[in-house]
Structure 1
Amino acid sequence: MAETSARGGACQALLFPSSSSPSCARVEALVVFTICDSYVRRPDQADRVIGTLLGSVLPDGTVHVRNAYVVPHSESADQVALDIEYHHNMYVSHQKVNPKEVIVGWFSTGFGVSGGSTLIHEFYSREVQSPIHLTVDTGFTMGEASIKAYVSSNLSLGDRHLAAQFQEIPLDRKVLLSETVEFEMLKSVVVEKLPNDLEGMESSMQKLYALIDEIYKYVDDAVEGRVALDNKIGRFIADTVSSVPKLSPSAFERVFNDRIQDNLALVYLSSITRTQIAVAEKLNTAAQVL
């Protein structure tokens, strides 16, 4: 564990980053799910979880965050200790799987930037130039799961370094259609339980029916002249209808059942993989304690 000390008052709000700082950030829904899952599985004595963000920097300066992993840490009022060796080992493992994903910053759970964030940001500044800091409010402080991204720069007086300043940057949560149901549940303040596969499919089908009803209504209104015609929407509807394969009911049932079996196999394999990773993390943590 690498340990450093910091005073809570060292972190300020609002800065004007240099031109090399990221202009905005885009976060995949998978990253948010990973952070929330890590928070639920955190050790009993931990108040928050901290980890590394992986992704790439787009030509326009946008940081595209595609993946994340937790880094074990401990902290007190004036100290923060990160397991740097674990962080490097995890990064090497991710590089073997997807070498295009590089370190772009770090995340923490909680509302806004805390005092100890300065030291952690300094460490990631040695790992990558101009890292971003992503915060996920898993405690629903403002009544929702607030997600914010920050950049930092040094506040100096001459050659003397005074403090690190953080400024919030625009954040784009890129949610794929298949993840919309889960993300809507994530934004809900209270849910009784997570949906199983059947309930998730039922919710998705209900949303699909609602979208189809909206399309029917638009087509009827366009035919009757109640709305202005839009060639782009017409071409999009035509392309969508033409992309639907023409299958007999028996052929459709066979293809549907095959797809369901393939999906169940993928779910089973991913569950085994998650279990193996969880066991490996617990063994690694136990070995460090012993």
Structure 2
Amino acid sequence: MDVVKAAQLSGRTVERVVVHPLVLLSIVDHYNRVARDTRKRVVGVLLGTSSRGSVDVTNSYAVPFEEDDKDPRIWFLDHNYHESMFSMFKRINAKEHVVGWYSTGPKLRENDLDVHALFNSYVPNPVLVIIDAQPKELGIPTKAYYAVEEVKENATQKSQKVFVHVPSEIAAHEVEEIGVEHLLRDVKDTTISTLATEVTSKLAALKGLDAKLREIRSYLDLVIEGKLPLNHEILYHLQDVFNLLPNLNVNELIKAFAVKTNDMMLVIYLSSLIRSVIALHNLINNKVGCFCLLLLAVCPLRIPTSLLIDIFFDTNHWIWYVPDAKQGAREG
């Protein structure tokens, strides 16, 4: 599948694609109902608005879609179902119109250009948003594309459609944010401690950073080897990232890191020490209790059943106490 960078083309019409949380939830639900634990993908229609090069995807609905695993040129999309669904959605919100279609890829496929051509009859410049329903890395699970006509330098060759990658982001209105926060609060696992959650999130962030750094290194290696063309815009962005990095050779910064690390290590050491003391205390209590029960089994007390007796133990001896002033207390 041919994909070119948006910066390499002039006269582009789509600058960015904004996906709302409701769309993500709807697509994930569609995937879980139809294609979970399979190699299939699901396809649907994206609704929203477009203005000044920005496509705002606010709603979506699923569309019946089938394709042949062996021959990608054989596929079926029920456009009659799509037209009837869109007419019903239009009655609810007339401002939303078809802006493109979605797929759970998780990457571009050979027949995507053919499917994209079908949506050209409903919207002049549709966008394709690929949603990764099962992401393995931390980051935005959306990738947006739109198709352009690529003109060949050789006049004898025919022009062909290619996909252009455009930036995508996740955004929400205030009402949507409240609903998403309420949903996340309901699905929160209370058995997981806050510390474990923070450590897990930090580890996931570090893994994501490592993956991005490896991707940058791989790209630069391919540019050096001449396998990819030099893109000055990407190099400018990388230079901006490197300029934002702090200078780690400053003595004050090194001292601050050392103090912070020592404080955290002290807290961890004290926590481990307290846990050890508590475990040792519980072990002593269990052994004392077992010894006293064993002693009572070997030397049973012959006490009248009419008496109320309290038996107390400590680490050195045990006593049984009769709460009658005349009987007193006996120690063994």
- The reply on whether 1:65 has 2:57 as its aligned counterpart is yes
Structure exhibiting the larger radius of gyration computed from Cα positions: 2
Contact kept, 8 Å, 1:28 with 1:65, in 2: the verdict is: yes
2:30 alignment counterpart: 38
1:171 pairs with one of 168, 171, 178: 168
Distance 1:135 1:182 in 2: 26
Structural RMSD (CA):
3.0
* Deviation per residue, 1:45-83 (Å, 9 max, x gap): 77111011001112x221111100111011113222110
Match of 2:13 in 1: 21
State the alpha-carbon separation in 2 of the partners of residues 145 and 39 from structure 1.
Answer: 17
After the TM superposition, which parts of structure 1 deviate over 6 Å for at least 4 consecutive aligned residues?
182-185
2:17·2:57 contact (CA, 8 Å) conserved in 1? yes
Whether contact under 8 Å (1:27, 1:173) holds in the other structure is: yes
Cα distance in 2 for partners of 1:144, 1:40 equals 21
User: Which stretches in structure 1 are left out of the alignment for 5+ residues?
Assistant: 1-10, 186-193, 204-290
Q: Is the 8 A contact 2:128 2:145 kept in 1?
A: yes
**Matches of 2:119 and 2:157, distance apart in 1:** 21
The answer to whether the Cα contact below 8 Å between 1:138 and 1:145 also exists between their aligned partners in 2 is no
One-letter code of the match for 1:96?
R
93, 102, 109: which one pairs with 2:104? 109
Instruction: Give the equivalent residue in structure 2 for 1:121.
Output: 116
Displacement of 1:177 after TM fit? 2.5
Q: Is the 8 A contact 2:146 2:164 kept in 1?
A: yes
Q: Matched residues, percent identical?
A: 25
Contact 1:20/1:130, CA 8 A, preserved across alignment: no
Conserved in 2, the CA contact under 8 Å of 1:132 and 1:150? Answer: yes
Q: Which one has more relative contact order, counting CA pairs under 8 Å at least 6 apart? A: 1
CA distance in 1, matches of 2:41, 2:183: 21
Equivalent residue, structure 1, for 2:92: 97
Say whether the 8 Å CA contact 2:140–2:169 is kept in structure 1.
Answer: no
Name the residue aligned to 1:149. 144
For 1:125 and 1:40, the matched residues in 2 are separated by: 28
Task: Establish whether residue 12 from structure 1 lines up as the match of residue 5 from structure 2.
Answer: no
Give 1:163 deviation, angstroms.
3.1
Cα pair distance change 1:170/1:97, threshold 3 Å = same
140-149 or 166-175: which moved more? 140-149
Matched, 1:50 2:43: yes
Q: Is the contact made by 2:16 and 2:53 (CA closer than 8 Å) also made in structure 1?
A: yes
Paired residue total: 180
Q: Which amino acid aligns with 1:164?
A: K
Alpha-carbon distance change, 179 to 110 in structure 1, aligned in 2, over 3 angstroms: farther
Q: CA deviation at 1:134?
A: 0.5
Name the TM-score, length of structure 1 as normaliser.
0.55
Please list every run of 5 or more consecutive structure 2 residues that lacks an aligned counterpart in the other structure: 195-332
SS in 2 for 1:128: coil
How far does residue 160 in structure 1 lie from its aligned partner after superposition?
Answer: 5.6
